C-alpha cells in the first residue's frame, strides 16, 4: 500500500506501485487539471509538485510518491500569484499545457524569488507550449515575482 498526501489530504493507494502518479491523480482522484502530454516526461504538461519540487507525474511511480506530499494545479486553488499573473497577462491560448507551465513557474519562484531571464529559460525549458506563448509566460513569471519585464 502507498500512502501519500495530495493537496493536503492523506490518501491510500493499494494498486500497482509502478503505476504513474499521473494516472492516479486523473483516473482515481478525478483531478484532471494535470494533463497527459507525451508520456515520456518531455513536454511538462503533467508537472506537479512532490515535496515542493516540480516533477513529471507521467514518469513518477506511485512507489516514488509514497510518504510524500503532492500538490496539483487544483491545490493552488486559483489564488497563487503566478495564477493571477497568468490571467492578467492573458497567457493561455489553447490552455492545454498551462497547468504544467504554472506548476513549473511556481517551483521556480519558490527556489528563485527574483529570477533572471536565464533563470526563467532554464527552469521552463522542459515545458512545451504548442501555441508559442513563451513571451507571455515570461512576462507573467516576472510579474508574479515583482521583477521588471
Note the pLDDT of residue 7.
Answer: 98
Residue 1 has pLDDT above 80, yes or no: yes
Dist CA 44 CA 36 (whole Å):
9
- Stated pTM of the model: 0.95
* Tens digits of residue pLDDT in 4-26: 999 999 999 999 999 999 999 99
**4, 66 Cβ separation under 8 angstroms:** yes
* Mean pLDDT taken over the chain: 96
Q: Which set of grid coordinates corresponds to residue 71?
A: 500538490
Every domain of the chain and the residues it spans: 2-75, 78-145
**123, 91 Cβ separation under 8 angstroms:** no
Note the pLDDT of residue 138.
Answer: 97
> What one-character-per-residue DSSP string does the chain give?
-EEEEETTEEEEE-S-TTSBHHHIIIIIS--TTSPPSSSSSSS-TTEEEETTEEEEGGG-BHHHHTT-EEE-HHHHTT-SHHHHHHHHTT--SS-TTHHHHHHHHHHHHHH-SS--HHHHHHHHTT---TT--HHHHHHHHHHHHT---
Note the pLDDT of residue 108.
Answer: 98
Average pLDDT over residues 116-135: 96
Class of the domain covering 78-145? mainly alpha
Average pLDDT over residues 62-67: 98
Q: Does residue 148 or residue 22 have the better pLDDT?
A: 22
* Tens digits of residue pLDDT in 32-62: 999 999 999 999 999 999 999 999 999 999 9
Note the pLDDT of residue 103.
Answer: 98
Average pLDDT over residues 76-87: 94
Average pLDDT over residues 90-117: 96
Residue 149 has pLDDT above 70, yes or no: no
CATH, range 2-75: 3.10.20.30
User: Would you say the CATH fold of 78-145 matches that of 2-75?
Assistant: no
Amino acid at each position: 500500500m502507498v500512502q501519500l498526501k495530495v493537496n493536503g489530504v492523506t490518501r491510500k493507494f493499494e494498486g500497482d506501485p509502478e503505476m504513474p502518479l499521473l494516472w492516479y491523480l486523473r483516473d482515481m482522484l478525478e483531478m484532471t487539471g494535470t494533463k497527459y502530454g507525451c508520456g515520456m516526461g518531455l513536454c511538462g504538461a503533467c508537472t506537479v509538485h512532490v515535496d515542493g519540487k516540480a516533477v513529471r507525474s507521467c514518469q513518477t511511480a506511485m512507489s516514488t510518491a509514497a510518504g510524500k506530499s503532492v500538490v496539483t494545479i487544483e491545490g493552488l486553488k486559483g489564488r497563487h500569484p503566478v495564477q493571477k499573473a497568468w490571467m492578467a497577462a492573458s497567457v493561455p491560448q489553447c490552455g492545454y499545457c498551462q497547468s504544467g507551465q504554472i506548476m513549473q513557474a511556481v517551483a521556480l519562484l519558490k527556489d528563485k524569488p527574483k529570477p533572471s531571464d536565464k533563470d526563467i529559460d532554464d527552469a521552463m525549458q522542459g515545458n512545451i507550449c504548442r501555441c508559442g506563448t513563451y513571451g507571455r509566460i515570461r512576462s507573467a513569471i516576472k510579474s508574479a515575482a515583482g521583477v521588471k519585464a
